[in-house]
Amino acid sequence: MSTRAATEERAVVIGLEVHVQLETDTKVFCGCSTEPADDEEPNTRTCPTCLGLPGALPVLNEAAVESAVKIGKALDADIPETTTFHRKNYYYPDLPKNFQLTQYDAPICADGELEVSVDGERRTIGITRAHLEEDPGSIQHAGGSIESATHTLVNYNRAGTPLMEVVTEPDFRSPAETRTFLAKLEEVLEYLGVFDATRDGSLRVDANVSLVDAGEVREDGSVPESVLADANRAEVKNISSHKGAEKALAYEITRQRNVLRRGREIEQETRHWDEARGVTVSMRSKEAEKDYRYFREADLPALEVSDWKDRIPIPELPDARRERFGTEYGLDDEAASKLTSTKEVADFFEDVAGEYDPDLAATWVADNLLGELNYRELEITDVSDRLDEFKRLIELVAAEELTVKNAEEIVLREMLDEGEDPEAVIDREGLGKAEAGEVETAVESAIDENPDAVADYHDGDDGAINFLVGQVMQETGGSADPGQVNGLLRERLDG
């Protein structure tokens, strides 16, 4: 094989290190709040421990450990008998202690997996480990960019927020797969109630990427350990969204292919994803593990966690729930997937389906409500405290007090655009379902006023009936039921 052919036939190998902030009330090693207050001042949610003052001791937050155990169970990971904490030593201004408290050789979760569906194919992504650690503070370069800033500010309010770092095996073969995986991971974390995706910076990704000889990829898609170890890889940092991961990786793969095409070697290095410019830039040659001088944190004893796995329950997860929605409510895969996309949507659907027809509930929640929200670039979480109002709207449709057409096209849309409740829209627009008498009067007058259409109908032109139905609908302001009007008209005309 010529060198040129070899460089063209490269397979992509990607592994992720995903940092997720855990939703606990307080920080992981002290009692400071994790919840940013509105307009809070920098360096106000701090104490001697998270500021790293001499003599201050860490106390492990039980809720953070519980969240970690839930994540481990959801990822089908092993949870060891005991777990320990280590100091990862490095100097950076956002790290007041000059070390990060993290886990090293006894992480709380190891050897798990997460199944994702890529282009209709089920893929299992291996989870090497997931460990607990503390978030550093945040740095702000005054004047914007690191190059132009005259000085840099540091805020320790975030320092000590619990993080779970989830490290995957190098099992991804394309940027699109990482995006699907991250969405699925977020979905699972939200179901567990340990994570808030809407919080700024709650998910941060480091993406490792290398190109290997395509001939080395086995039939099942795996790559031999020795090939992985030999491949020079870039670690791309500063990715903060699913889309960002896909874009940064696509860029980085093209960059690496071009380097190889020019006959040069890929550097083993850490690169920075510049979201605004859409490029990755070299930060530093990759640090080796020994650079961090890991050693046991003597101020935190080993934690016995062997029985936590049995003690801490987790809710039904998205995959299981999707399957149950299929069997229990007779939903097809697409509807079941939409309705389990977030726990809040699934809970709302089950609430409605428990009281009304499940098919009606599925149409209203999956198609109408989610469709109209999506059109307005809203999520269900944006209307969390109005779910009762949407339920009342569905109830009016179920009770046939409102036509489906009016409910969908007028009431739901006005509810979302005007922030009104369903009753207010119905009152204002006069949409209450027409009284029986009113419909019959409208049917009579449609017949009386349109002799030509009536004659056409009697001559066998069945289309004429649609015209007459239209006249009645207009007369009743759309509040009559078209099927019923059709029946009434035929009764009169044929009788």
Instruction: Write out the two tokens for 225.
Output: 């350990």
Cβ-count burial 230-268 (b if 16+ within 10 Å, e if not): ebebbbbbbbebbebbbbbbebbbebbbeebeeeeebee
Binding residues for Zn ion (CB under 5 A): 30, 32, 47, 49-50
Give whichever of 30 and 205 is closer to Zn ion, judged by the CB atom: 30
- Cβ proximity to ligand ADP, 76 vs 379, nearer residue: 76
Smallest distance, ligand ADP to C-beta of residue 245, A? 13
Q: Which does 50 bind (CB under 5 to 8 A by kind): Zn ion, ligand ADP, none?
A: Zn ion
Nearer to Zn ion by Cβ, of 156 and 181: the residue is 156
Structure tokens at 93: 């201004």
30 binds, among Zn ion, ligand ADP, none (CB under 5 to 8 A by kind): Zn ion
Smallest distance from ligand ADP to CB 209, Å: 5
Q: Where are the beta strands (DSSP E) in 358-424?
A: none
- The Cα 256–Cα 232 span in angstroms is 10
Query: Cβ 161 to Zn ion, closest distance in Å?
Result: 10
**CB of residue 279 to ligand ADP, shortest distance in Å:** 20
Whether the CB-CB separation of 485 and 471 falls below 8 Å is answered with no
Instruction: Judge contact between 82 and 107, C-beta under 8 A.
Output: no
Burial class (CB in 10 A: 0-12, 13-18, 19+), 477: middle
User: From the CB of 173, what's the least distance to Zn ion, in Å?
Assistant: 42
| Residue 169 contact, options ligand ADP, Zn ion, none, Cβ 5-8 Å cut-off depending on partner type | ligand ADP
In terms of phi and psi (left: phi > 0; alpha: psi -120 to 50; beta: otherwise), the region of 120 is left
CA distances from 3 to 8, 213, 234 (A): 9, 11, 22
Contacts to ligand ADP by CB under 6 A: 13-17, 167-170, 208-210, 228, 231, 233
The item of ligand ADP, Zn ion, none sharing an interface with residue 485, based on CB under 5 to 8 Å by kind, is: none
Smallest gap from Cβ 29 to Zn ion, in A, equals 8
Residue 31 vs 371, nearer CB to Zn ion = 31
Sheet holding 234-239, edge to edge: 109-118, 121-134, 162-168, 10-21, 203-213, 234-239, 269-274, 279-285
Bridge pairing between strands 269-274 and 234-239: parallel
Question: Which C-beta is closer to ligand ADP: that of 108 or that of 167?
Answer: 167
Report the partner that residue 208 touches, choosing among Zn ion, ligand ADP, none (CB closer than 5 to 8 A by kind). Answer: ligand ADP
15 binds, among Zn ion, ligand ADP, none (CB under 5 to 8 A by kind): ligand ADP
Closer CB to ligand ADP, residue 15 or residue 96? 15
C-beta closer to Zn ion: residue 24 or 178:
24
Distances (CA, A) of 279 to 80, 139, 236, 245, 246: 40, 21, 10, 12, 12
d(CA 300, CA 289) in angstroms, rounded, equals: 22
Rounded to a whole number of angstroms, the minimum distance from the CB of residue 278 to ligand ADP is: 21
Q: Please state the closest distance from residue 132 (CB atom) to Zn ion, in A.
A: 16
Report what 24 binds from ligand ADP, Zn ion, none; CB cut-off 5-8 Å by kind: none
Residue 208 or 403 with smaller CB distance to ligand ADP:
208
